[in-house]
Structure 1
């Protein structure tokens, strides 16, 4: 068995100078209890914090949180416990994980390092689980030893240590921990692998978990090469607002699929082969069609030869709300109001309200020499049809005085450039990022 304390100290040595606070994720189980004791013996007490997440999935969960609190107290380390409500769904494990990481992300500050107790057996279990479920290079890369989580770093210093080594050290140190009875429930896929499948593999191929850890590292290197290639392809295919359909289809099928996976992942969504085929069908749709692919809270559309990805949202009802200098921030977009920009602006905000467009709406843009339909203005400014219903229309009474980002109307412009209020409507697109399913 390794000298676990020396090993742990060496793993954290390179981070010591830049970390302002070490946050220990403590469940009360063997792994996290060992992690806490290792940290308490080597890190400055003033820099340590302990966080427990009570998922409220077991009748004893409150008692386990109390145990964690007492343990942290015995080591003179500040402790906090958070209760979470795990959303019902197909995967209880995934929902619990999502709730747990959301709390971690909210608690962490710049300069923090969150320490979690995943170990070598967890790595082997994760790789086998993903392989059986069906995955690609990214999935087989397994659990990373570190990554960013919100404003802080997440680090797993025990990822090369077996559970048996952790247990031997804990017994030698006479530590106490909690055994969660749900870990023995074979109805959970991971528990079945842990108790039924992995012991058979270990008996037949001793040391396979450590070799799989090396394999995971090779896959992580391959995944980084995929990302590098996607960045290169994005330079030629990206348009600033989306992906150019012709340039995308000119790529080879593997590079096209790689770029799409990378592009969607930046928006917080992992996609598979089925989604890639849906994208290709969307591109191939007739020019007079307005196809859309729904993707778990996102919408993929094609407009004027460009793929556009945006959050799915309901129609924004402006409801004749007053226009103020603070502008508006909504899920569908942001309305900026800036005074004195050097541009032709609205001469005053007094009495100006916001409404949705009506059929047949017309206005008189400055310098146009007559009235024009809003439909034509939207077409001229390449505003996609699905964005037009939520586009803010500025009115005083029944008269349209401005269409933010498009025009100011005659009689409502500032007396000279820079004297009025410049208006700009920025529809939301590619503004959502998520934790995806990274461990």
Structure 2
């Protein structure tokens, strides 16, 4: 761990109890004893395998045995009890939940560094699997040797070493470890690769492992360069309203698609699939307004601007019965009120102008659009139909979805996407408040 930074006081090791993680934990403890580190072994009980309790018990026994020798190790564990939904990838669900649990435990124990036991053979296998799935450069890059994410530095110190070196290390030291029999289950792609493809590949090409790992390293460099190019492009394309898709289309196709790919990854936190990118690219080029459901949210295109809306908004429109919509509301002052039935949050804010007296907000009525409503955008401007006002203001369809707010006398006070109706504004100098609608929360 020669990173040039000050040595950490606490180092975490992801410890499944298997061969690779056992070897890594043992090796880390040898360094920790001389360097004065504390080591916390992080074990994740996924709740998916019938022998998971046995594995946890083994990890407890091993750490306790090393503690009795005076070694600076402790065990932290978390039970997840995962229940993947039908159609979900068990591997993907478990992997994502595992890293989230590792991060929580590491930070809870004061560790900002987590060591992972992946080796060169894992990297070569990952490259092959990603290539077979049709992955782009980012997917082919495989696993980084070190990456800082969400306040944790994830380090794979053995990424340059083949599996046979770790196997020899474990045999020489006679380390005890658990054997996960699910590694022989060929329903999983990596297991099929190891059982059916890898032996034949190495027999025909003995240097295949090293060559594929080197290819992953080259892909990492290429991916880093593409990310830097995307950052330059997105500084001009991305703003508060989303991604300027029209401007994106004016770039060279490969460069534009790269910017789009990175932007989706940034706003959603997930790597977009090739299928999604192709749909957005081709359909967005010919449609002024479109939506694409994907993963945990929805991409929305309106008037050339592309936005990402996370899961709550998408769920409110696409799944299950909607909650009952509130019809009346008593407000108690500035603040925020969640309205699940309307799929958003109503904010109340004190303002200097453009608001209404509090007497008109103490009790309000919430209504859906019924047709025929008119809205006045400012003093001295004529009231116009909502549809025309929305079009004039460039308000996309999904930003219009929310309650119209009326006072107890039936006068329109507020329209989502447009603001406070000028006919209800308070006189200058009076205390006043305005409403603001936030969809999809």
Normalised by the length of structure 1, the TM-score is 0.83
**How does 1:134-153 map onto structure 2 within 5 Å?**
134-153=134-153
Q: Determine which of 335, 342, 361 is the counterpart of 1:326.
A: 335
The CA distance in 2 between the partners of 1:107 and 1:190, in whole Å, is 27
Give the Å deviation of 1:163: 1.8
Q: Give deviations 1:20-62, integer Å, cap 9, x for gaps.
A: 5422211100111111112222236764322211122322110
Give the Å deviation of 1:138: 0.9
- The aligned counterpart of 1:5 is none
Of 130-139 and 278-287, the range deviating more from structure 2: 278-287
The CA distance in 2 between the partners of 1:111 and 1:360, in whole Å, is 61
2:75 pairs with 1:74? no
Partner SS, residue 378 of structure 1 = helix
- The aligned counterpart of 1:382 is 394
The CA distance in 1 between the partners of 2:247 and 2:353, in whole Å, is 35
The CA distance in 2 between the partners of 1:318 and 1:395, in whole Å, is 13
Would you say how many aligned residue pairs link Structure 1 and Structure 2? 414
Q: Determine which of 38, 41, 55 is the counterpart of 2:46.
A: 55
- The aligned counterpart of 1:275 is 276
Partner SS, residue 157 of structure 1 = coil
Q: Determine which of 102, 114, 122 is the counterpart of 1:104.
A: 102
Q: 1:134 to 1:408 in 2, by over 3 A?
A: closer
CA contact (8 A) 2:353 2:426 kept: no
Give the Å deviation of 1:265: 1.4
The CA distance in 1 between the partners of 2:9 and 2:395, in whole Å, is 47
Give the Å deviation of 1:356: 4.1
In the TM superposition, structure 1's runs of 4+ consecutive aligned residues that sit over 6 Å from their partners are: none
Q: 1:34 to 1:322 in 2, by over 3 A?
A: farther
Q: 1:87 to 1:286 in 2, by over 3 A?
A: closer
- The aligned counterpart of 1:7 is none
Q: 1:414 to 1:220 in 2, by over 3 A?
A: same
Give the Å deviation of 1:355: 4.7
Q: Give deviations 1:268-302, integer Å, cap 9, x for gaps.
A: 34334433332244234465xx4323223433333
CA contact (8 A) 2:257 2:281 kept: no
CA contact (8 A) 2:401 2:416 kept: no
Q: 1:365 to 1:258 in 2, by over 3 A?
A: closer
2:397 pairs with 1:395? no
Higher relative contact order (CA 8 A, sep 6+): 1
- The aligned counterpart of 2:11 is 22
Partner SS, residue 308 of structure 1 = strand
Q: Gaps (5+ residues) in structure 2?
A: 68-72
The CA distance in 2 between the partners of 1:70 and 1:136, in whole Å, is 43
Instruction: Give me the CA root mean square deviation.
Output: 3.0
2:355 pairs with 1:345? yes
- The aligned counterpart of 1:295 is 294
Give the Å deviation of 1:181: 1.2
2:83 pairs with 1:83? no
Normalised by the length of structure 2, the TM-score is 0.82
CA contact (8 A) 2:147 2:154 kept: yes
